Structure 1
């Protein structure tokens, strides 16, 4: 999957760009590159592809404008694709609402892939917050597994970071929105487990939304993770996700958000390596370079927040997203330009 593809598979719609015709053939993900890039979601310890996976380039049966899915969703246009899903804008025929339809596009998907895809809805149904993408429905149409979400207009943070460096005020607003989303999810027993720029969507009005709960874990939905599996994205994974030395808790999501904050404020990831396993162990073993070493103009209180989020031991991080939000609120005087003195 390239940087131009939307890896989360949830609606991507940039009004500044025209819709692109969907590719008729989708090559399978390279086994050599699986898990080895900022857009990859890593799955170790279980089979990501079935053993009898067809060789060559399997044809992904895309949807065409006017086609009706499950008797109620009429396809308007193709929006994008990710590693295992294609996304279309659709109209719900009963209400006339415009939604995003996410279709699992992996031929011969195994049972665990399908279960994770379907449980995204079960996790998200427990959540109702302006900073979390709304997931509505899940179903099957023939051999297609699909889910529907609200249609988002804007771009994900991963794509935004390819442009100009955000201002301090922008970064602070986005981090505050993400913290509010995590506070809501954690308060309802849902851990995201894959917080990264590709899963943080910036809407046209400037609201950040947390999306893609396909790897989430919650107290009210049975998990489907195989024993020994490591789930997450290597660049953003907390040490305990990798080593198993501590249980996965809300502090795990906060660490990942700390990596996002580091990237927002310095323009760089704290740890990089061309191979995913050595990269993950940098998170376990190596402290990050202090952000002000890379960005000397960064106010010191911003650096303190980032380094606290990225502590190796979960108990040394913030006790919860609410405490993080409180500290972020105190940073606003440092992020806003000084008022012009009156003459």
Structure 2
């Protein structure tokens, strides 16, 4: 076992990989269960550079924004051996184990695509310094599920970004999930490459089987056949009952990156509409009501019928006495005024919510906790401000300048919204504009809404 700092206790080996071992431990500084990836190998080699890349990238991401569907960085050590990376521990299976050769329910497929799509859009457009970050290895083994079916994207070792490069890189990714452009070699990947992989994952969840072989040459040949046959095999796999779903996936699986959706979020939205058109249940099942514990029988005297009559007479006497007292004192009572102060209810702590760990041995897609109702957006009068923006594509109006904030509504292609004058630049390529559309205030991205 690796000699790790004393802050970690109850250390247990849970896995091994290319870079070394993975341990589960309790972090005594935070009281949280954590995962510790320990590096073993040549520090001068390529594998170490990928290990270092993952640690630095996760640290920068967590420092900027703790995205709810990206594995959270905690600490790392690259000063002296053992070199390690500590992240949050997700108590649950990988999506690969969850699938296990079985088709998954449509609501879970949509949930994974929406959550991981949100994480990918943040990587592609949301970080002010590191974006575009291309994960390059989206697959079921790199997606974890917790007991609430929340999905987390892991393993950023081969993720590419403007500040990272290795001279002797080969084709990176996993055959069976790689987009066709990735077979051209390192540097050919694009943000749309991750969308292609996410669509393959969705297709595998729907059918229970991997749609592409796991060998590089045969996988690329199969993608070429998809293109030549106009994706007839995907339509066959999903059948007539899921023809709308097939079309939504086919667009995300387009051979040319420019023919795919402008963002993973729009892919998820198209998939939602398609599943609904095909009559699929896209709403997670409600939480099962926990039965009340059995009542303990009363000990001692039993309740006899004649005692019930006596009790009823006594109760009526008290009620009549109270009515008489109120009649006598009504005038004086009305002259008295008392002020009642109502304290606002405290919102649940996001930090506390994040630290909840639900231990499970396996995930069965049967129940989910019912989500609390979200208050509707506030309607405001439309002021005369700083011009309009026009939607280049269908674009969500969000509650804040981030892809992990709530969607208020969708603005159709060609629609115009009025700018308030506020904007936020999150990267050199992305600006968020605060706009007003149909009386609601929200934010849209410069990638899809252009100032007039």
TM-score (norm 2): 0.55
Q: Does 1:202 align with 2:145?
A: yes
Q: Does the aligned pair in 2 maintain the 1:237–1:283 contact within 8 Å?
A: no
Could you tell me which residue of structure 2 aligns to residue 232 of structure 1?
A: 173
Q: Does the aligned pair in 1 maintain the 2:57–2:156 contact within 8 Å?
A: yes
Could you tell me which residue of structure 2 aligns to residue 47 of structure 1?
A: none
Could you tell me which residue of structure 2 aligns to residue 7 of structure 1?
A: none
77 and 322 in structure 1: CA distance in 2 versus 1, 3 angstrom threshold: same
Structure 2: how far apart are the matches of 1:162 and 1:242? 28
* Root mean square deviation, CA, Å: 2.5
Structure 1: how far apart are the matches of 2:248 and 2:27? 43
Which shows bigger deviation, 289-298 or 192-201? 289-298
* CA radius of gyration, larger in: 2
Q: Does 1:160 align with 2:95?
A: no
Structure 1: how far apart are the matches of 2:100 and 2:72? 26
Which shows bigger deviation, 287-296 or 159-168? 287-296
Which shows bigger deviation, 147-156 or 244-253? 244-253
92 and 218 in structure 1: CA distance in 2 versus 1, 3 angstrom threshold: same
Shift in Å, 1:97: 2.4
173 and 298 in structure 1: CA distance in 2 versus 1, 3 angstrom threshold: farther
Larger RCO of the pair (alpha carbons < 8 Å, separation 6+): 1
Q: How does 1:252-267 map to 2 (within 5 A)?
A: 252-267=193-208
Q: Does the aligned pair in 2 maintain the 1:87–1:103 contact within 8 Å?
A: yes
Could you tell me which residue of structure 2 aligns to residue 291 of structure 1?
A: 234
* Secondary structure, aligned partner of 2:192: helix
Shift in Å, 1:170: 1.4
Could you tell me which residue of structure 2 aligns to residue 323 of structure 1?
A: 266
Q: Does the aligned pair in 1 maintain the 2:144–2:152 contact within 8 Å?
A: yes
Could you tell me which residue of structure 2 aligns to residue 272 of structure 1?
A: 213
Structure 2: how far apart are the matches of 1:228 and 1:178? 26
Could you tell me which residue of structure 2 aligns to residue 18 of structure 1?
A: none
Match among 49, 59, 62 for residue 125 of structure 1: 59
Q: Does the aligned pair in 2 maintain the 1:123–1:218 contact within 8 Å?
A: no
Shift in Å, 1:292: 3.6
Shift in Å, 1:229: 1.6
* Secondary structure, aligned partner of 1:307: helix
Q: Does the aligned pair in 1 maintain the 2:25–2:33 contact within 8 Å?
A: yes
Structure 1 unaligned spans of 5+: 1-61, 339-343
Structure 2: how far apart are the matches of 1:246 and 1:88? 33
Q: Does the aligned pair in 2 maintain the 1:103–1:147 contact within 8 Å?
A: yes
Could you tell me which residue of structure 2 aligns to residue 147 of structure 1?
A: 85
Match among 310, 334, 337 for residue 253 of structure 2: 310
Could you tell me which residue of structure 2 aligns to residue 86 of structure 1?
A: 21
Structure 2: how far apart are the matches of 1:141 and 1:75? 24
Q: Does the aligned pair in 1 maintain the 2:226–2:233 contact within 8 Å?
A: no
Structure 2: how far apart are the matches of 1:116 and 1:245? 14
| Deviations 1:257-286 (CA, angstroms, capped at 9, x unpaired) | 11111211122222226x433333433564
Q: How does 1:6-155 map to 2 (within 5 A)?
A: 62-63=1-2, 69-105=4-40, 107-108=41-42, 110-127=44-61, 128-140=66-78, 142-155=80-93
Could you tell me which residue of structure 2 aligns to residue 249 of structure 1?
A: 190
Which shows bigger deviation, 250-259 or 95-104? 95-104
Structure 1: how far apart are the matches of 2:209 and 2:69? 25
Match among 272, 280, 298 for residue 335 of structure 1: 280
297 and 153 in structure 1: CA distance in 2 versus 1, 3 angstrom threshold: farther
* Secondary structure, aligned partner of 1:100: strand
Q: Does the aligned pair in 2 maintain the 1:121–1:138 contact within 8 Å?
A: yes
Structure 2 unaligned spans of 5+: 284-452
Structure 2: how far apart are the matches of 1:246 and 1:311? 19
Structure 2: how far apart are the matches of 1:213 and 1:284? 28
Shift in Å, 1:174: 1.3
Structure 2: how far apart are the matches of 1:289 and 1:209? 32
Structure 2: how far apart are the matches of 1:245 and 1:164? 34
| Deviations 1:110-148 (CA, angstroms, capped at 9, x unpaired) | 432111101112222343211111122221475322101
Structure 2: how far apart are the matches of 1:228 and 1:250? 18
| Deviations 1:280-317 (CA, angstroms, capped at 9, x unpaired) | 34335643553341232642221112111111110011
* Secondary structure, aligned partner of 1:217: coil
Structure 2: how far apart are the matches of 1:289 and 1:226? 39
TM-score (norm 1): 0.71
Q: Does the aligned pair in 2 maintain the 1:309–1:317 contact within 8 Å?
A: yes
Give the number of equivalent residue pairs.
269
Match among 184, 202, 217 for residue 122 of structure 2: 184
